[in-house]
Structure 1
Amino acid sequence: MATGAGTVSQRMISGRYELLEELSHGGMGDVWRGYDAVLDRPVAVKLIRPQAVTSPQMADELAKRFRREARITARIQHPGVPQVYDAVLDDTHEHLFLVMELVEGVPLSGYVDPVRPLPVSWAVAVAAQVVTVLSHAHDVPVIHRDLKPSNILVAHDGTVKVLDFGIAAILRTDATKLTATGSPIGTSQYMSPEQARGGRVTPRADLYALGCVLHELLCGRRLFQADNELVLMYQHVSAAPTPLRQLRADVPVALEELVLHLLRKAPEERPADVQEVYERLRPFLPTAGQEPVPGEKGPTGVPDPTGLFRHPYAPRSRPRPSTASVPAPHGEPVPAPLPVPAELRAEIDEAYAHSDALLEEERFTQAVEVLSEIIEPAGRALGKENREVLELRVQRAAIRLLGGDYRAALPEFTALADAYGRIAGPTSERARACRAQAARCRAELGQVTEALSALESVLAVVRSVDSDVSEEAIELRRDIGMLLLAQGRASDARVVLEPLHGDLNVVYGPADELTVEVAEALALIRLDLDGQEA
């Protein structure tokens, strides 16, 4: 199995955060996918590499700086900044850990293409979101100091996330001067002239870096290029940037002027603040309801950062219908299931055991991750509709339901019901069970009418193939009655629950938990109906 949740190589931080998988490795530190065992949620854990601690005084200074910057960074309240959950410093002062919101997305470096630069609207939409984030940070005040494409992430919904606030301040990466020996710390491709000189850093250093990023997005290449770090830093201090329209003719004149203004060598000659930058970007942003024009389509396979401007505050997308495979022609035998190789069998058994143990601790999120890790390789080896794979998916969906993640469980149960319908028939026990679970998810998501219809349909099938007092039928009758009651349909609920109560008294007895629950519901119904009659 791939390295992930539950492996013996895991490391526990502060007795709470498990390091599961390394996501990135860089000069300032490593980022790990982690898991918060207390709050049952995935997290990102940034291991920051400080310079060698050579004295107790240096250790104390590092500890103070780390805690101060972590607290300040945590004060930036904006959707474009991953939340800081915790800051952990070990006793040796050699390991610093920031525990943050885990963000899935594509780094901006994945958008840069010298052959096909981004559409103007895409580049401007990214820049506008970045300056919005910076406006909140500069108000704290926090200066990023290391803004660059790899520190800017576009989440799946098009939201731009600015990463690593406070890291440069913790490590003092702006202290490198042109005369320094050895490799400079930081990212010299986006370093402002005053940072390169070792001068005082202000919010306008972030504006210079933004100019470098916007230039790169619009023309597909960095502002300056050199093999030697010191030469590169010298270019930022002394060399004139190439105007964008010399590299790409369709860049609007006013946008070229803004980028050149951001790239002025003296901080006081740049725009006054990020609010001014936003106002100058705004004419090039798409407006609400405006669809992309021909030629404005961005790169495939990456999130569209213009969506937030075209459809502001839009609701979540509707769940996509499950992509059902084409059923076999009538009369064609279903292929025999493939045997499970011994090694895969052992990995599947291990995943079940591990997820069960996590489930005992109510660690639902991590239990889902454990099963997800084995489902993909099992599907490749055995087929996506192999019974073993389907059972793994049923267990994963059930855990999501137990953990309250109804939005993720609903499409999974719907797809599973379709798959079991093709394999064993639409009235088979597994197909019925998955349809009922999908209906329960709908009920929890507020889709009560659709849930009732689905549950009644499943109950009709159960009554045709089994007893009305079978365990499956009783559970369905109870769910239908309770949903009717929740809708305020007291009379309809009584029609369902009164005969159910009579059956429960006979089958399970009056002291059974389910019998008592239905009796209490009927008492509420009688009170409600009596009140209506009065």
Structure 2
Amino acid sequence: MSQQVIAGRYELLEELSHGGMGDVWRGYDAVLDRPVAVKLIRQQSVTSPQLAEEFAKRFRREARITARIQHPGVPQVYDAVLDDTYERLFLVMELVEGVQLSGYVDPARPLPVSWAAAVAAQVATVLSHAHEVPAIHRDLKPGNILVARDGTVKVLDFGIAAILRNDATKLTATGSPIGTSQYMAPEQVRGGRITPQTDLYALGCVLHELLSGRVLFQADSEFLLMYQHVSAAPTPLRQLRSEVPTGLEELVLHLLRKAPEARPADIQEVYERLRPFLPRVGQAPAPGEAGPAGAPDPTGLFRNPYAPRARAQSGRGAAGAPAPGLPAAEPLAVPAVMRAEIKEAYAHSDALLEEERFAQAAEVLGEVIEPAARLLGVESRPVLELRTQRAAIQLLGGDYRAALPEFAALADAYGRINGPSSAQARACRAQAARCRAELGQVTEALATLQAVLGVVRSVDSDASEEALELRRDIGMLLLAQGRAAEARAVLEPLHADLVLVYGPQDEMTAEIAEALALIRLDLDGTGGS
């Protein structure tokens, strides 16, 4: 399965999760050179050839509905693929890295109230956009909620339950209701009409579990569990955890009422009632107000809304390079097995580069960098060379945000090992500057390139290959900033040197000649010289 290609473009690389409704794979889109998530829907969803055509129509309809939910809390749907047999169905979606909400549930240590409220509020926001479409989730549960690394809550699997529904029966071919019995609303158990209030009940189950550390109902069989959802009264939260605020307990009980019409009127009301329990803007976490170690913090979006991205760690690269001043691991001879793995990674990456599959080529090198760094040291020559090649691929593929901090860290590492004026340190500083230029940080990029050029001139010729490229970059950046006279002062002598070194027909020579023609036209047209 890992070698399978879907629709001629989506490669299945590794299985990420295995669930009741389908398996999720890390995939790769060979056309757009990006990682994706591919959900393989269970084969038993089509129970007979007679249902195949109806199923195909439902599959595409629900995929289109899901794609209309425009909210950062819903992973984008890129494609829906139904194979010729109608037996295998694939949803191709945005790949989200994060932690499943089920990993936050701990009976011994329930979540802080602010964390639970922040998760529920973000889910409520997602549901408000979905219910407007209208789209009802039908299977909301911790396993379908993921907290991304920046604290954004993502609601997964919209439309999957609807896709698997069989109008001829309330049960699937396996005899189980569509949904998950721990979070199933009474009307779902009975096979009644599904409404947005069905999702509200499930959200009540999830919030109860986050705050108490245990599921709402427990039973020895699925039948008894579903019976409890229909008939049993939920235990009030404050009987399980006394510090839960009264207003939050009341909201959860309201969400868990048996009759849909007795629940809150809509998800917007739920959000308003959650608001008092959310952290205020600028409010720092209180002592002890921390969730599971290493888990993304869902309260950050409320404490610092619309905050910029966190600063890159300037002293640490993607492979875990140490901060300046920390000793590097003692270099070791490369064992034969590791040497073979590195050689194979380079060969595989180069083959992918030939096909312009930049993201995947960089990922292949990344898979060997970490074990090599552990074995050889993070500043050993083989590891630094691997990291440099990966960063170069990221730059070539346009992933400037990933390449920039790595090139900056590599420049520091090479500077410590070989000296700040070494060829490797200069090259990485220049590449970092080029990334900054692509990201709009032109002033800083220019300053760095000019500083590197000064070093090159002190150790090599002004007409060396390295110096010529730096002069080209500096002149073109000046031109891009509208500083035509300064650009001309850099590019005219550069053009003369290029004619001598490479000849007038060279690609870089022609590029600079064209830029100079535009500069002269602009300056002459405005009265310049």
TM-score by length of 2: 0.93
Q: How far, CA to CA, are the matches of 1:106 and 1:10 in structure 2? A: 26
Match of 1:500 among 478, 494, 498: 494
Of the structure 1 ranges 127-136 and 195-204, higher mean CA displacement relative to structure 2 is found in 195-204
Instruction: Give yes or no for contact 1:152–1:161 (8 Å, CA) kept in 2.
Output: yes
Query: Post-superposition shift, 1:531?
Result: 3.6
Moved more, 337-346 or 24-33: 337-346
Match of 1:82 in 2: 75
Amino acid at match of 1:345: R
1:297–1:110 distance in 2 versus 1, CA, 3 Å: same
Shift of 1:181: 9.4
The Cα shift of 1:343 comes to 2.6
- Residue 369 of structure 2 corresponds to 375
Aligned residues: 521
Q: Could you tell me which of 423, 428, 432 is aligned with 1:434? A: 428
CA distance in 2, matches of 1:53, 1:276: 38
Aligned position for 2:196: 203
For the residues of structure 2 that align with 1:53 and 1:301, how far apart are their CA atoms? Answer: 41
1:173 Cα deviation from its structure 2 partner = 8.3
- Give yes or no for the alignment of 1:94 onto 2:87: yes
Distance in 2 of aligned mates of 1:278 and 1:9:
42
- Measured in 2, the distance between the counterparts of 1:101 and 1:27 equals 21
1:4 alignment partner in structure 2: none
The answer to whether residue 175 in structure 2 is matched with residue 167 in structure 1 is: no
What is the CA distance between 1:125 and its match in structure 2? 1.1
Query: Which string of whole-angstrom CA distances, capped at 9 and with x for unpartnered residues, describes residues 64-97 of structure 1?
Result: 2222222222222211111111111111221111
Instruction: State percent identity of aligned pairs.
Output: 81
SS of residue in 1 equivalent to 2:126: helix
Query: For 1:204 and 1:325, how far apart are their aligned partners in 2?
Result: 52
Q: TM-score, normalised by structure 1?
A: 0.93
1:259-299 CA-partner distances (Å, limit 9, x unpaired): 10100111111111111111211222223223323333333
Matches within 5 A, 1:158-197: 158-172=151-165, 186-197=179-190
Amino acid at match of 2:49: P
CA gap 1:155/1:37 in 2 versus in 1, 3 angstroms: same
Map 1:97-136 onto structure 2 (within 5 A). Answer: 97-136=90-129
Which residue pairs with 1:342 in the alignment? Answer: 336
Tell whether 2:416 aligns with 1:422. Answer: yes
**Could you say what secondary structure the match of 1:227 adopts?**
coil
Structure-2 change in CA distance of 1:68 and 1:490 (3 Å): closer
Deviation at 1:523, TM superposition (A): 2.5
After superposition, give the CA deviation of every residue in 1:482-530 in whole Å (9 maximum; x if it has no partner): 2222222223222222222221222122222222222222223333333
CA offsets 1:206-229 (integer angstroms, 9 cap, x no match): 111100000111111111112321
Q: Once the 2 structures are TM-superposed, how far is the Cα of residue 372 of structure 1 from its aligned partner?
A: 0.9
User: Aligned pair in 2 of structure 1 residues 349, 26: CA closer, same or farther (>3 Å)?
Assistant: same
* Residue 319 of structure 2: aligned partner: none
Pair 1:267–1:325, CA change in 2 (3 A): closer
Q: Structure 2 unaligned runs (5+)? A: 317-321
2:147 matched residue in structure 1:
154
Change (3 A) 1:92 1:181: closer
3-state SS in 2 of match to 1:145: coil
- Say if 1:124 and 1:284, in contact at 8 Å, map to a contact too: yes
Letter in 2 for 1:138: H
Assess if the C-alpha contact under 8 Å between 1:184 and 1:229 holds in 2.
no
Deviation sequence 1:11-69 (CA, Å, 0-9, x none): 10111100001000111111000011111111100001042645321222322222222
Cα distance in 2 for partners of 1:337, 1:120 equals 48
The separation in 2 between residues aligned to 1:352 and 1:533, in whole angstroms, is: 54
Secondary structure (helix, strand or coil) at the match of 1:533 reads coil
In structure 1, the residue matched to 2:227 is: 234
Within-5 A mapping of 1:317-336: 317-323=310-316, 324-325=322-323
Verify: 1:459 aligned to 2:453, yes or no.
Answer: yes
Contact (CA 8 Å) 1:125, 1:306: kept in 2 or not? Answer: yes
* 1:310 correspondence with 2:300: no
The one-character-per-residue Cα deviations of 1:148-175 (angstroms, maximum 9, x if unpaired) are 0010111111111110111111222896
Alpha carbons 1:173, 1:185 under 8 Å: kept: no
Matches of 1:52 and 1:435 in 2, distance apart?
A: 55
Name which of 140, 144, 147 aligns with 2:133: 140
User: Does structure 2 conserve the Cα–Cα contact (< 8 Å) formed by 1:51 and 1:171?
Assistant: no
CA RMSD of superposed structures (Å):
2.2
